[in-house]
Amino acid sequence: MLEKLTPGTELDGYVIGERIHSGAQGVIFSVASPTGGGPLIMKVPRIGRGETSESLLNFETEAMILPTLSGYHVPRFVAAGDITRTPYLVTEWVEGDSLEHWLKGGPLPTADVVRVGAAIADALHSVHLQDTIHLDLKPENVILKRDGTAVLIDFGLAHHARYPDLLAEEKRFAAGSAPYISPEQVLDTRSDSRSDIFSLGVVLYEMATGELPFGLPETMKGMRDRLWRDPVPPRSLAGDVVPWLQEIILRCLEISADDRYQSAAYVAFDLRNPEQVVLTDRARKLQSAGFFGQVKRWWKARDYLPVRFQPPTLFAVETPIIMVAVDTSHPDDYRHPALRRTTSRVLSLSTEFRLICVSVIRAAHLVEGAGGIATASGLHLEHLVRLRHWVEPLGLSTQRMSLHVIESANPADTLLEFARCNNVNLIVLGAPGAKEHALAWWRSVASKVTANAHCSVHVVRIPVRNIRTDAKNHTGHPSGLK
Amino acid sequence: MIIALLSDIHANLEALDTCLKHAQANGAMRYVFLGDLVGYGSDARSTVEVIAKHAAAGALVVKGNHDEAVEKRTGYMNESAQEAIDWARKTLNENAKSFLAGLPLCVREEKLCFVHASASFPERWDYIDSLSAARKSIETAERAHTFSGHVHDQMLYFQTGVGKIGSFRPVPGTPIPAKSHHRWLALVGSVGQPRDRNPAAAYALFDTTREQITFYRIPYDHHAAARKIREAGLSETLAYRVEKGI
């Protein structure tokens, strides 16, 4: 079919334009739609005489998964041809540069690593939320749009939890690109969303240092190296890599998926809130484990080499980010314990979670008598101390939570924006009861957040014990109160 | 065209009625019953009547091991299962018995194959409980789509163009593309006696035009079905299993 597709010819109404890309698996054309609209591309697999069925299975996988995905972080699906007669896939043409193009100039400055890394983590999180694992994350599959968001392309190796995995048994070509795949992918596991976190770690490493943590392995033995070898710490390759960035990168690159970040949203959060990153030995390392250290790791890896990884499919909904809004301006408010009890109950439902505690305070320059920077930071610190005091009884480790005091004249919008940017799954906040007229302002914050949040909202109220007004409406006396 | 595939009904009229209604509401134009109409449950007579009526209207019905057990003694039934078969034999009239006895073991159409257990030696009632058992059935059926029951759990096996067999536990309500250039073996689950700790009835719809299989779990009044088993004086175990889905 491919040879017939020359510029100007038509396929199911799509007018073929220029050939954008020609690879071993297939060809990509720019096409014009019969109904107009934005620019489109058509992917056509190489099939027929002399071609392997490999490209067809990858193509079929993408044609099955892409129509089920939505959002800013994937190309919009337009149409697919009949796979047995005219296999093709039409999607929107994503305007932007591939990350591969960006990396041609060598390593990126830290600010770009962080910005782009968080954008890719957002994209992965969005895909994970839709029960899909990309499994082939690498710079050429990331398009960076002008608005700063990242779009993931090429779902030919992806895995979707609600569809059969046609590639599961096709070990020869079901793994992604050698430098980027996770240890469990080397061992043929395709159902762990944390594999994408590992690949994100490789991409972050490459952006920060210009090097690949495991080189460009060409043999199976070379690929298995990542089952035990620890990569050279980025800080020893690039002087401007800061300890917290190394902490994030090396945590993504942990051999065991359990030791990595459990959700792409956590990676995005840490990249955007470096002051909240808990530094461990990973941040301090300046060289790989020595000879004996490597031998030890290799010996340890031998134990699990013959056993196939059998991890659970871990999807983003099981690793929630919970945000609780605490009113530190009224530290003695009687509602605080109730808010804490509810937060504790919500946290007990997940084994993996992140808690973000936020207090929105009035901007310092609006506070009467606030004169200089010293006062502003003093105020900030005071609220931070109160926030810590509020959260301490929950007994959470610092790795599980973060504290934020934000100055704003508009608390509802600030909470909503903060929740959206940090991929929050649930907002917990208190609200005054219907009869507490003096607190009407705070009630309006709660109702605005509830009405406009992108995620679930849990509003905590203290049941009103005084039923005097309600009793008036009854015709008789409540029993026993005569 | 949408085909409803119902298997292992096991004399559970409440579950059957609910699934048939659901199938009709979702556009089913053809009905295929994949065997084990009787056994375990108490409504053998009405169940066979309903299915025979569908057969008269063009539905396809294949025989299951419990249907066979009504006509001839088998050695593989446990005590409570045998008790339910004896009960069925007592309550079924001659018409119903000859309907069951006359059922085919396996039916192959141009593109589809229907069999209760495995297309490879259907009379041996082998369970499809492994990739190799699935491979045998798929390769003997020699059809793009094979539909079976016998194993009470829902499962989808597939053989890609390169010959590898894979398996997939379907998510109820999600239409799965099952294109005919691969081969597929769908175990549609049990209408009348699910065993995965979920009492909801299991069945599937196949859209032949879109080549799409959708597995379903349909809640029904399983307490009523269990009550009838107790009222019929059958083993308490059978009632309990329907109640708990075990």
A119: nearest Cα among A73, A177, A154: A73
Using the Cβ of A170 and the Cβ atoms of chain B, whether some distance falls under 8 Å is answered with yes
Neighboring chain A residues of B168 at a CB cutoff of 8 Å:
163-165
Tokens read off for A392: 């301490």
The answer to whether the Cβ–Cβ distance between B158 and A57 falls below 8 Å is: no
| Mean pLDDT along residues A289-309 | 60
Let me know: does B141 contact B107? Beta carbons within 8 Å: no
Distance from the Cα of A49 to chain B's closest Cα (Å) equals 14
Neighboring chain B residues of A166 at a CB cutoff of 8 Å:
158, 160, 166, 182
pLDDT at A33 (0 to 100): 85
pLDDT at A174 (0 to 100): 55
The answer to whether the Cβ–Cβ distance between A83 and B182 falls below 8 Å is: no
Tokens read off for A169: 């048994």
pLDDT at A317 (0 to 100): 61
| Mean pLDDT along residues A321-348 | 89
| Closest CB to B166 among A53, A84, A166 | A166
Q: How confident is the model at residue A6 (pLDDT cuts 50, 70, 90)?
A: confident
pLDDT at A472 (0 to 100): 46
| Mean pLDDT along residues B96-116 | 96
Let me know: does A412 contact A445? Beta carbons within 8 Å: yes
The answer to whether the Cβ–Cβ distance between A164 and B164 falls below 8 Å is: no
Let me know: does B171 contact B30? Beta carbons within 8 Å: no
Backbone dihedral angles phi then psi of residue A215, each to the nearest 5 degrees: 65, -155
The answer to whether the Cβ–Cβ distance between A83 and B181 falls below 8 Å is: yes
Using the Cβ of A279 and the Cβ atoms of chain B, whether some distance falls under 8 Å is answered with no
pLDDT at B18 (0 to 100): 97
Pairing of strands B112-115, B106-108: antiparallel
Residue scoring higher pLDDT (B91 or A300): B91
List pLDDT tens digits, range B35-53: 999 999 999 999 999 999 9
Q: How far is CA A401 from CA A119, A259, A266, A352, B76, in A?
A: 22, 17, 11, 11, 59
Q: Kindly give the residue spans of alpha helices, DSSP state H, lying in A187-227.
A: 194-209, 220-224
Let me know: does A265 contact A353? Beta carbons within 8 Å: no
Amino acid at A428: V
A366: nearest Cα among A334, A411, A402: A411
User: Which chain A residue lies closest to B157 (C-alpha atoms)?
Assistant: A164
The answer to whether the Cβ–Cβ distance between B168 and A161 falls below 8 Å is: no
pLDDT at B76 (0 to 100): 77
Tokens read off for B237: 């175990």
Q: Is the pLDDT of residue A217 over 80?
A: no
| Mean pLDDT along residues B173-192 | 95
The answer to whether the Cβ–Cβ distance between B171 and A161 falls below 8 Å is: yes
Is residue B184 classed as helix, strand or coil in its secondary structure? strand
User: Domains plus CATH for chain A?
Assistant: 2-92 (3.30.200.20), 97-301 (1.10.510.10), 321-473 (3.40.50.620)
| Mean pLDDT along residues A66-95 | 92
How many other CB atoms are there within 10 angstroms of residue A15's CB atom?
A: 15
d(CA A394, CA A326): 14
User: Domains plus CATH for chain B?
Assistant: 2-244 (3.60.21.10)
pLDDT at A219 (0 to 100): 73
| Closest CB to B165 among A57, A165, A169 | A169
Q: Is the pLDDT of residue B154 over 50?
A: yes
List pLDDT tens digits, range B195-245: 999 999 999 999 999 999 999 999 999 999 999 999 999 999 999 999 999
How many other CB atoms are there within 10 angstroms of residue B230's CB atom?
A: 15
pLDDT at A82 (0 to 100): 85
The answer to whether the Cβ–Cβ distance between B179 and A83 falls below 8 Å is: yes
The answer to whether the Cβ–Cβ distance between A165 and B165 falls below 8 Å is: no
Is residue A18 classed as helix, strand or coil in its secondary structure? strand
pLDDT at A375 (0 to 100): 67
What share of chain A has pLDDT > 90, as a percent?
A: 50
| Mean pLDDT along residues A169-178 | 67
Write down the pTM of the prediction. Answer: 0.84
Residue scoring higher pLDDT (A233 or A399): A233
d(CA B34, CA B6): 6
Let me know: does A378 contact A371? Beta carbons within 8 Å: no
How many other CB atoms are there within 10 angstroms of residue A256's CB atom?
A: 12
Q: Is the pLDDT of residue A121 over 50?
A: yes
Let me know: does A266 contact A126? Beta carbons within 8 Å: no
List pLDDT tens digits, range A467-476: 454 444 444 4
Mean pLDDT, chain A, integer = 84
Let me know: does A133 contact A190? Beta carbons within 8 Å: yes
Using the Cβ of B179 and the Cβ atoms of chain A, whether some distance falls under 8 Å is answered with yes
pLDDT at B178 (0 to 100): 94
How many other CB atoms are there within 10 angstroms of residue B187's CB atom?
A: 31
Distance from the Cα of A163 to chain B's closest Cα (Å) equals 6
Q: Is the pLDDT of residue A482 over 70?
A: no
Q: Is the pLDDT of residue A323 over 60?
A: yes
pLDDT at A480 (0 to 100): 37
Residue scoring higher pLDDT (A333 or B40): B40
Q: Is the pLDDT of residue A477 over 50?
A: no
Q: Is the pLDDT of residue B130 over 90?
A: yes
Pick from A116-120, A297-301, B160-164, B231-235: least confident: A297-301
Using the Cβ of B182 and the Cβ atoms of chain A, whether some distance falls under 8 Å is answered with yes
Distance from the Cα of A83 to chain B's closest Cα (Å) equals 8
Using the Cβ of B177 and the Cβ atoms of chain A, whether some distance falls under 8 Å is answered with yes
User: Which chain B residue lies closest to A163 (C-alpha atoms)?
Assistant: B176
Using the Cβ of A315 and the Cβ atoms of chain B, whether some distance falls under 8 Å is answered with no
The answer to whether the Cβ–Cβ distance between B176 and A170 falls below 8 Å is: no
Residue scoring higher pLDDT (B202 or A407): B202
Q: Is the pLDDT of residue B74 over 70?
A: yes
List pLDDT tens digits, range A359-404: 998 876 555 554 545 566 788 889 999 999 999 999 998 888 899 9
